[in-house]
Structure 1
């Protein structure tokens, strides 16, 4: 009888924003819900980490992985990648908010049987296109499998779950000997050394393509240890071994993607996508429409007479052996996957289960058959790797087993993550801090020894942790100070200085007028501070103002930015009174704006005593007045119309003193 599960999150408002509407899927690490974003009025998927995973010594690593998924997806903007909108913590609830994809996943479609060849190539091409976007920014997905390939109802194909994604240079396992991922899709280099590259994702897509063409993974029914052994020591079987009508072009394509040597595979998803397009172009159009028959898989059984729903009778939990679980590999080959990391979750689809055989294929074989197979493989590998007690003692006491290597990916990782990675390998971490321009505060700048170098298992690794960019304080009160003082103050703080000079009428030469950054502010240590310094008033050419009136001279000089001062007026017989007689500096001299030009105005001609010429003859009077510097005008009695009785000056005008050069009128009769 079906049981009803009550989910306490249904109907709840997460973080005051996301209204949980329905549960979509549940995995080993998180549950995915369909929710409504009340703030933006849109439908989203909310991924909630199981609360118990945050507890205990491993809790930080699970929370870190959960947040890493958000950071990895945030680095990508591609229509083929499920977008992550938000990440947060509501009480004890860690959650991610993602794009809601209406539809199913590739696992659900494969449960109906193999895909048509054209459809399989289309899905592979779109997965590779999404992975190419990740590879271009230096990310490797590391967990490509049908559960993480979402098929939208509109025909779109999207790659989900970047929870295991890492930068190409980062560590690929959380502890020494621990392999994360789904064994059926793991490349040999991941199994043997934990190393990953973009070619690792290409391998997984090759397995995925083979599964889409044939309806089954290359080694169905094998225990995880057996699958791992095959991947390391054998080439994957060609799809045509299961479906004989598949053309050689598809065999070669799958073989190139799943080559054991990663250097023989396409270097990244972009190159692999081009290979898919090239292979498709060589195929007969009729082949593209063909679909293989549904395969008959090896029988499975859970070893229980009661055909229950799976582990813990949780109808939403992934079944052991389904690709929704991260397979555990016995310690004869690898250490087991830590508790809580056994499964990776898929998004917006119902839980997936192991592929069932065709109707009438019979009940599943007992799970203990798998356990017996795993034990056999483990015993065989122990014998192969062999060594007796003495060899084991030597290995761990003095031989290679006494040493380990510094994990990769520490540089650039948060210090707490690097510390946890070292602790997982039994290594101590010693921390030293220093500023760094490119590495954010709290992230590791370098390690000693470096990643990949040997260190004793009980040794320690020094982590150089970034303090972020070194910030300096710009001195206050630089504006108005002399240039030399400002430069000295900035140099003392550690800033580089540049100087721009500008002419200024008010500020004296050398005075700081402004700075490129505010005084008293905090700036990066490599900030170049530019001082704007006065070069004094601008140079000008002094105009000619001699002979002009005082008002006209002042107007001309003011237009040139010059000030005016006046000297005492001087007499002149050449320049009229009130006009400029002289200027200092003279016309054409180079001066600076606001300099002063001194003007001397004409006071007119000088004064002289007018000789008294009364009683002199006209000629005598004229001669005397001209000798004194005056002009002479002679007139007769009554204006000269009466005849003169005598030639004698009877009157003169003016008398006393008069300006030199002025006219003296004499009356002769």
Structure 2
């Protein structure tokens, strides 16, 4: 049963521009249609929000705001966003139409993929996510249904940045919900938060599924799946597909670490890890066929209908063919005149024959003119993706088209091969028109500039202008280089690195200066001496008891003991003395020497014991400060023991 026939939007025109032709798919937030932009005469995908959500003003505002943000994310592996608008109760998003299928369709047909195919799909997905992560977006719902594989081999990620609505009417046991929770990171479940590492986790689960044909966590309810995400590690793919290499097991384990800190920081980092794994694998390992893999023998497997259908036929069912023969009304036959003119065969006059011939010629000419205006002067752009520049130019020139070449960096397409074209494959361009092809220069590269001797602020600007980021700033003494000027960088100047690579900078602290010892000096004298040496002075709010006079400097940081040096402009912190702390002396007369010493030391005093020269006893007869009197904390109390002659 064709459900599109029951959809009231099919056949309608939204916003006086987008003619809805067929329904492609239905999701929890919106329905996706194939449509035609009647202004630009191009096929696109139209995503129309469900009207139950369109009545929520806050949700619509967020939908529009995020759609505008994603529209600025231009990347070859991201489904493009063209337009956004509303028509009555219909809030829509006009997007790039990808003719092909989803990764979910591939997995349904093939069961599992050999590692080379899995990495061929994973890498462009990570490139798309990496671009989004560096632009501040998080996908939040990565799964095979959102990975589109075009008929031309391109891999694109759909539904970037669009918030998933919580539908209170959706049963928690539906396959859709269960399919979504299969890719949720533990922190999304526990805290409801999602940063780039949540997308990394989902990609790890997708890689596991491509290698084994199964999701890592199963269960009859979402709750069971969620529990496993929180409490069980994703098993190694080789446990289910023994031919999977250990390096791929490690890649899946890293991407799906339950603790977010254990995963790569974003998709760019995971892409680098995936490429390293690919480089480490042999051809036999890359082409190993997993036990779950099967040949897609379903009807029409080579040209199957999927949620992303192939392009519509050249002639629209709702329009007349462009090259039809026009029907012309012949002029009325002139009245017969007796006795004039010769007649041809069948009694028709020579004038009648001429008239008919003229009408037929006119009809043919008019039909040809209509065909030329509508189609004859246009050429369909042939696909040139991943061809070398020479191959692409030859193919386009062979179609009668001019070529313009633009060089771009690409993380996915090898150097010298075509990333894409504008107009795209299958689009019509006027004969002798120009097609712009984008040729890969390979992964983007940035050269570390020479900033030695520059002021730090200027050096940071130059490094950022090259597309690099600022790493650690390390300060070192230098007698030759002015303070706050650059001594060196790591990587060194002239090195070529990927954009966003951090560059550490070593900056001069200037000539080292001995820090004077100002402990015991008055605060004013200490401040003056330090400032004369070029230091800044900070007085700590909290004061301490010390042996130094009250109001003088009790401690300083850094110390001035000669082991530490400072730089001009460094800050020295001073702690002011509250004077000596007076505490009460305990009465220890009559105690044994050991007990008296323990009690005095416990109170904070030092103890000196004097014994008799002859017949010394063990009891305290006298103490230098009487019990109950006060003495400075840390001072020495002398105790005398009973005995003979002292």
Same-fold call, TM > 0.5?
Answer: no
TM-score, structure 2 normalization: 0.43
Structure with larger RCO (C-alpha < 8 A, sep 6+): 1
